[in-house]
Structure 1
Amino acid sequence: MSQAKTLTSTELEQVLNYIAAQSYSQRNRVMLLTGLWSGMRVGEISSLTISDVMNPDRSVKAEVRLTAEQTKGRQPRTVFLPQKLRDELAAYMALRTDAKPEHPLFVTAGRKRFSANVMAQHFHYLFKKAGIAGASSHSMRRSFITNLAAKGIGVRVLASLAGHRSIAVTQRYIDVNDEMKRNAVELI
C-alpha cells in the first residue's frame, strides 16, 4: 500500500479554497490545520474535547495533553500547538459559544462527535472533491513531519512530536523532494 501524499503549499491552498466555499467551512479548516500543524492522527483529533484545548478562561492552550486512551500507541503524550493554530482554534471556538468543556471539539452536521473512521472518510472526500489525488487524513501528518524535516528539525525531535517510539518509523514519514535536495546542496 502506498503512503499518503505529502501536501505541497499549492495543494494546501487548493483544499483550503475548496473548504472555504462549502458548508461548515470554519470547522473543516480548523480540523485540517490541526492535523497539518500539530501532527496529530485523525483518531487523536476526533477524540479531542473542548477542555483538551481550551483553558477555563476560554483561551487556547499551548500544549494539549493526550491521554493513553486518545493515542494510537496507548502512551500519553503532549502535543505542542503553534501560535497560528491557537489563533485558528480561538476563531473557531468563538463560534461555539454554547459548548461545554466536556463536549467534543469537532462535531458532525448532526452535532455528534466524529469517530476516527468518519473523520478519515470526511478528509478523503474533502481532498477528492478539492482535486488532490492521493491525499488522505494521513497526508496532514506526513506533511507536518516532512515540513519540519525540511526546516532542519532532527529526527529525534520529530519522533517525539509524532509520538513515535522508533526513529525508523518517523524516517518513513519524511518525503524527500527536489526542493529539499536543492537546499541541502546549497549548504556546501
Structure 2
Amino acid sequence: MPPPTIGVLALQGDVREHVAALTALGARATTVRRPDELAAVDALVLPGGESTTMVKLARAFGLLEPLRERLATGLPAFGTCAGMILLADRIVDGAAGQETLGGLDITVRRNAFGRQVDSFEGPVAVRGLDEPVHGVFIRAPWVEQVGAGVEVLARVATDDGEHPVAVRQGRLLATSFHPEVGDDSRLHRLFLDLVGG
C-alpha cells in the first residue's frame, strides 16, 4: 500500500519545513494552493504564519469553502501555531471579522504569549512521548477552552496558570508551537499515525 499523500497548505508560512519533515518520515508530501490539489490529498498540514492573511489568501484562491468542506467530512489535519487558530471553532482576541476553518472544538487566544519580542523556546512535555519536544513559540496562541471530545496533550505554565498548547480531537492535531523547526519529527510521526489509523 502506498504511503498517504499529505498536503501542506502553501499560502504562507513554514511550508518547506513541514514538507521536509514529512518527506523524511516517508510520507508523500505535496503543496496545496488550489481546490484540485486539496482534493488529491489524504491529510493536510496547516502551517504557522499569519492566520488572517491565510484566510484571505484561501478565499482569493477559491480554497476557503473546499477546506471547510474537507475538514467537516473528516480530512485528518495538523495545525501548527496559525494552523491551530485556523482549525479552532472559536477565537478570543481575533481581528475584526476574523474567520476560521473550524473542526476542533476549542477556543484559542491569538498572540496569547505576547508580541514578536515575547517569542520564546523551551521543552514541552507531550503526552505519549518519552522525552519533551523543543517548543518554538512565535506570537503563539494558547487554548482557552476545550470541548468534551478534545484531549490536551501538552500545557505550558505562565504567570496566570497553565494553558494547553497541544490538543487532539479524533484525527485532528494542533500545537501552539512550531514542531517543524529543528530536527525532531515526533509530532509529525504522531500525525502520520493518526492519518494511518
Larger radius of gyration: 1
* TM-score calculated relative to the size of structure 2: 0.28
Higher helix share: 1
Higher strand share: 2
* TM-score calculated relative to the size of structure 1: 0.29
